[in-house]
Amino acid sequence: MRTAELLDGHYLLRSNLSDQEPEWLWQLCLLLVQIEGVFRCFKNDLGIRPIYHQNDARVEAHIFVCFQTYCLGVTLQQRPRPLAPGLTPRQALDQLAGVQMLDVQIPTTDGRLLQLTRYTQPDAAVQLLLQRLGKSLPDQPPPRLITPEIMELPKEAV
């Protein structure tokens, strides 16, 4: 017990990088912990299960998506820090999740559809967050009339 108390709060790093400074190795370990935390957060949010790739192109695509995820996580952590101290990326995502984008389609008398793409109005907390971050929601897009020919096209073509 006495030995455990003496070592409490101390870490032993073992590495094959013997020519590096211990502080550099410690910073590398802390960076690894941060990276793993970002991926854990986004994997839970996106509901990603283990993926088993069958070819090199998919492996490279997965690495690219992981890198983008890491960049987004770091941005969400660093950007609000000076503007909204104490705001975590998880809290920012939870607040912004209330803003939804939706398409309202109203049939017209001549067989076309009037499509209104709209986002919901943010509540006061989200408005304050956007204001502190120096951001604003874009203008609502104008309505579109969809003809029957466009409605029959596959979604990829529209």
pLDDT for residue 45: 67
pLDDT for residue 142: 93
Could you say which residues of the chain have pLDDT below 50? Answer: 158
Measured over the CA atoms of residue 58, residue 62, residue 63 and residue 65, the dihedral's sign is: positive
| Cα–Cα separations (whole angstroms), residue 20 to 34, 61, 102, 119, 142 | 21, 33, 53, 52, 59
pLDDT for residue 89: 77
Tokens of 93: 């995502």
pLDDT for residue 150: 60
The answer to whether the predicted template modeling score (pTM) of the entire model surpasses 0.85 is: no
- Residue 64 CA, chain-centre distance (Å), reads 14
pLDDT for residue 114: 92
